[in-house]
Amino acid sequence: MGLLFAKLMTVFGDKEHKVILVGLDNAGKTTILYQFLTKEAVHTSPTIGSNVEEIAVRKTRFLVWDIGGQESLRASWNSYYCNTEIVILVVDSTDRERLTLTKDELHRMLAHEDLRNAAVLVLANKQDMKDSMTAAEISQCLTLSSITGHSWHVQACCALTGEGLPASLDWMRSRVLAS
Ligand SMILES: Nc1nc2c(ncn2[C@@H]2O[C@H](COP(=O)(O)OP(=O)(O)O)[C@@H](O)[C@H]2O)c(=O)[nH]1
Ligand SMILES: [Mg+2]
């Protein structure tokens, strides 16, 4: 009965799906959050604490938490995990040096009990920059193919123009409707 009710709530669009936006500082998380909302680039400053916004994709509503990525804040990411349905990992595709660090943070996160049912969307951001890594290169460096317990997807994007973001929202929508 509970399950049927939950399903009906989803159909009628009453349920809000929790999403967290993670990634190292400067990856483009806040720019992506506001691009999802306004389809315009906004001026951002490093996020201290978190920003949270509701995004509706047709009848599906997401509550998206943008969590600060500086080293001192990464330790508190796990306080946001509970009930998260989708983790969006934003990667600065030009930041080759810190990709290993991103990989470690990703795999550490996915081992957390509270994220056992979460799907993972990796956004290979800053595709407008020359010398950016492709989505396939990032996928390989992050060893995404080794992820077995979670559904995952990698999408190339540019937060400044919004390219790749509608496709990301479509994937998120199809994920939550399928579960
Ligand atoms: N060239 C380029 N710059 C971007 C892109 N996305 C974000 N930025 C810039 O990268 C910087 C960090 O973005 P921000 O959203 O604050 O990153 P956060 O720390 O992950 O929240 C800002 O100067 C953004 O304008 C992108 O797709 N292309
Ligand atoms: Mg930010």
Distance CA 87, CA 106 (A): 10
Choice among 11-20, 38-47, 132-141, 146-155 with the minimum mean pLDDT: 38-47
State the DSSP code for 160: T
Residues 141-160, mean pLDDT to the nearest whole number:
97
* Ligand 1 centroid to residue 28 C-alpha, Å: 4
* Ligand 2 centroid to residue 16 C-alpha, Å: 22
Q: Flag whether 14 is marked binding.
A: no
29-38 vs 165-178: helix crossing angle, rounded to 10: 80
Residue 41: per-residue pLDDT: 56
The answer to whether residue 147 scores a pLDDT higher than 60 is yes
Distance CA 118, CA 169 (A): 15
Which residue do the tokens 């990032």 mark?
138
> pLDDT-derived band of residue 68, with 50, 70 and 90 as boundaries?
confident
Residue 172: which of 129, 124, 109, 122 has the closest Cα? 122
Q: Detail the DSSP E strand segments found in 23-102.
A: 50-57, 60-67, 86-92
pLDDT, tens only, 75-122: 778 889 999 999 999 999 999 999 999 999 999 999 999 999 999 999
Q: Flag whether 25 is marked binding.
A: yes
Distance CA 34, CA 162 (A): 10
Query: What tokens were used for 63?
Result: 């509550």
Q: Which atom of ligand 1 is nearest to the CA of 24?
A: 20
* Ligand 1 pocket mutation, candidates 30, 31, 66, criterion most atoms within 8 A of CB: 31
Distance CA 32, CA 78 (A): 21
Residue 71: per-residue pLDDT: 72
Q: What is the CB < 6 Å shell around ligand 1? A: 23, 25-31, 44, 46-47, 69, 90, 125-126, 128-129, 158-160
Residue 45: per-residue pLDDT: 64
* Ligand 1 centroid to residue 5 C-alpha, Å: 40
Residues 139-144, mean pLDDT to the nearest whole number:
98
> pLDDT-derived band of residue 155, with 50, 70 and 90 as boundaries?
very high
> pLDDT-derived band of residue 58, with 50, 70 and 90 as boundaries?
confident
